[in-house]
Amino acid sequence: MEKRDIIVIGASAGGLNALRRLFGAMPKDCAPTVFVVMHITASARSVLPQLLDRIGWLPAFHPTDGEPIRWGHIHVAPPDHHLTVHRDRVLIRRGPRENRTRPAVDPLFRSAAAAFGGRVVGVVLSGGLDDGASGLRAIRRCGGVGVVQDPHDAEWPGMPQCAIDRGEADHILPLEPMAALLSRLAAEPAPPSPPVPFDIATEARIAEQEFTTMSEDTQAVGKPTTLSCPECGGGLSEIRDGPALRFRCHVGHAYSPDTMEAAQAEAMEKALWVALRTHEERVEMFRRLGDHARERGQDLTAANWDSQMQEARKSAELLRTVLSKPGIGNSSSPNTR
């Protein structure tokens, strides 16, 4: 009989310490198959497998695309690549960013839910914003279990708190007791898995970068909106995901509520800085035009240029005031990454 022996884990800020504590507390005779996504800078060289190896629980490594699953090992997503799973292998793909990051937690969770159903235990650890909450919902819809770090135990409570707020946590507890829970769950028989919902299977396929069907898939799981993707400018579709709304563009970029807010705030700040630069360039242009007109004895023309220079200067000062206010360019959500 199959057991709940597939554990998928998502973490971001504060995740390394959380993984160390959790894996360090795991019983040595517990050997599930583990998949880990931790947000990491795309250009960084990840030594996470080596760090997890030193803990001495299970061997950890970066898998390659198409590699068979290594049962009883820890599979760690490499930088700038999504980690997704099939029944017998892993996929390492540079698919569309989700929640402004690659690797992202939600693609791993959805793919595991589609591949293994009731065998999956999803775990959300320390991190900001809300990556992982949608994926945890997918796991539970496919018969799996959702486990969330107690926000009071997390260095960054955002990710755990979002999963809890959206009702996707079957268990909420600190890391040391969590180890005992995971050991117990991994030894339990897995329940029968329900049919994989269409939307979960479809979004799992998008993360694998199957471009031939991506636009059709996005339209199949969402409703078109007038909003545009902060990353590529494409049209966004609205996806109703239980109590939350999510957004995905036609090439696959996806946003949870908090990351959409953060992305729009960042785009707004960028636009304001571009406007400030443009007005300051106009101040300089009008000054030069006014000086040139005065040199030629065209005083009325010079006065006109001077007037426009003052208007541009006022606009620049107004933009500087706006940009100096707290919160401009930062998400107002308390669950910051």
Active site residues per annotation? 12, 39, 131
Contact predicate 103/199, CB 8 Å: no
**Which strands form 60-61's sheet, in the order they lie side by side?**
60-61, 74-76, 33-38, 6-11, 120-124, 145-149, 171-173
Q: From the centroid of its chain, how far is CA 239?
A: 16
Element spanning 34, H or E: strand 33-38
* Closest of 55, 48, 49, 38 to residue 179, by C-alpha: 55
Contacts with 96 (C-beta within 8 Å, 6 or more apart), sequence order: 206, 207, 209, 214, 249, 251, 252, 253, 254
CA angle 214, 215, 217 (to 5 degrees): 65
> Mind spelling out the 3-state secondary structure of 208-265?
CCCHHHHHHHHHHHCEEEEEECCCCCCEEEEEEECCEEEEEECCCCEECHHHHHHHHH
Structural Rg of the chain based on CA atoms = 25
**Cβ–Cβ under 8 Å, residues 128 and 12:** yes
Residue 283, both tokens: 């101040």
